[in-house]
Amino acid sequence: MRSSWQGRDIISIRDFSREEIEMVLQAAGRAHPDPDALRGQVMASLFFEPSTRTQLSFASAMERLGGKVIGFSSGKTTSQAKGETLQDTIRMAEGYADLIVIRHPLEGSARLAADTASVPVINAGDGTHQHPTQTLLDLYAIKQFQGHLDNLKIGLVGDLKYGRTVHSLATALTRFHGIELRLISPASLPMPPAVLRELGGLVDYREQEALDLSGLDVVYVTRIQKERFPDVEEYEKVKGAYVIDRAACRALGPEAIILHPLPRVGEIAREVDSLPQAKYFQQAQGGIPVRMALLQLLLKGELA
């Protein structure tokens, strides 16, 4: 499969057409780990913010394909701590690696990295802005469990203001037909107006505070993003605003699915884990095939 993917940056889900999203998901479904596919290639994993899933699944995907990984998981252990700029860090990394994966607390940092680097850059989360590869694996999970990406009733629950995964996912859903979005958040944490403007006319959405899950095909729960609050007292007011427990799940049909980008910090009770609708751990496992597919497409332009 030849494509225009080779050498491309992945900064925002806005850059993807429906066809391109579907192409990645199809490629992920076919991605068998050829242990020689990326032999000799090096991925720089530059994580200036904490991560479990994104960092480990990118590394696992690269190594399963025969590539190598260099990098760090905190800016504090790099020369950033001595005052080096992000641009200079990227100039070094592009000389050491064939592709850069970056997570950084500042919105726009991945774009700056891509504008600086001559190798492909993947945004693994830039502040509250975007997390495009998470969205691809979210869509992969929805397709896997619901069988399609059109004509779905989807509830986004939790911190819609600071949660970058819901921003990316909401934008991605404008590419599909017949989507009804229920935006469930505390009044102080609504979906940003810029994202709502993108939805306008393309996605039928309604905003509400009440945790009403009835009739939903997909419940996408997010953590209240404590680290993004300028004032911890504001966080304390909304902490624990929603808890998806077995009682809340009684409103769900048997075919509904519950997703969460994880980590969770109490917003899905552990008693929910054994319900058939609970798919969040399987969702996270999809990070491997989706990221294997992306790495091959960006580095080789084709799947092995």
The first and second tokens of residue 132, run together, are 């495009």
Question: Among residues 54, 89, 168, 283, which is the contact residue for ligand CP, using CB under 6 A?
Answer: 54
Of the candidates 126, 135, 90, 83, the residue with the CA atom closest to the CA atom of residue 106: 126
Report the side by side order of strands in the sheet with 42-47: 68-72, 42-47, 99-104, 121-126
Check binding of 133 to ligand CP (CB under 6 A): no
Longest CA–CA span in the chain (Å) reads 54
* Rounded least distance, CB 265 to ligand CP, Å: 12
Check binding of 228 to ligand CP (CB under 6 A): no
Check binding of 52 to ligand CP (CB under 6 A): yes
- Report the alpha-carbon distance of residue 148 to residue 168 in Å, rounded: 19
- Contacts with ligand CP, 107-126, as mask; x by CB under 6 A: ------------------x-
* Rounded least distance, CB 56 to ligand CP, Å: 8
* Rounded least distance, CB 134 to ligand CP, Å: 5
Check binding of 53 to ligand CP (CB under 6 A): yes
* Rounded least distance, CB 61 to ligand CP, Å: 13
Check binding of 132 to ligand CP (CB under 6 A): no
Of 11 and 37, which CB lies nearer to ligand CP in the complex structure? Answer: 11
- Report the alpha-carbon distance of residue 10 to residue 132 in Å, rounded: 7
- Report the alpha-carbon distance of residue 31 to residue 303 in Å, rounded: 7
- Chain Cα centroid distance, residue 279: 16
Amino acid, res. 109:
S
- Chain Cα centroid distance, residue 298: 18
Of 116 and 235, which CB lies nearer to ligand CP in the complex structure? Answer: 235
Return the exposure string of 137-174: e unless at least 16 CB atoms fall within 10 Å of the residue's CB, then b: bbbbbbbbbbeebeebbbbbbbbbbbbbbbbbbbbbbb
Check binding of 51 to ligand CP (CB under 6 A): yes
- Contacts with ligand CP, 69-108, as mask; x by CB under 6 A: ----------------------------------------
Q: Which stretch binds ligand CP (CB under 6 A): 65-73, 196-204, 221-229, 255-263?
A: 255-263
Q: Sign of the C-alpha dihedral, residues 206, 282, 225, 162?
A: negative
Check binding of 261 to ligand CP (CB under 6 A): yes
Of 132 and 261, which CB lies nearer to ligand CP in the complex structure? Answer: 261
Please say whether the beta carbons of 158 and 280 come within 8 A.
no
* Rounded least distance, CB 239 to ligand CP, Å: 19
Please say whether the beta carbons of 180 and 208 come within 8 A.
no
- Report the alpha-carbon distance of residue 56 to residue 71 in Å, rounded: 12
Question: Among residues 123, 128, 130, 134, which is the contact residue for ligand CP, using CB under 6 A?
Answer: 134
The first and second tokens of residue 179, run together, are 């989507």
* Rounded least distance, CB 158 to ligand CP, Å: 13
Of 261 and 286, which CB lies nearer to ligand CP in the complex structure? Answer: 261
Check binding of 222 to ligand CP (CB under 6 A): no
Check binding of 262 to ligand CP (CB under 6 A): yes
Of 51 and 89, which CB lies nearer to ligand CP in the complex structure? Answer: 51
Q: Sign of the C-alpha dihedral, residues 218, 18, 31, 284?
A: negative
Residues making contact with ligand CP (CB under 6 A): 51-55, 125, 131, 134, 261-263
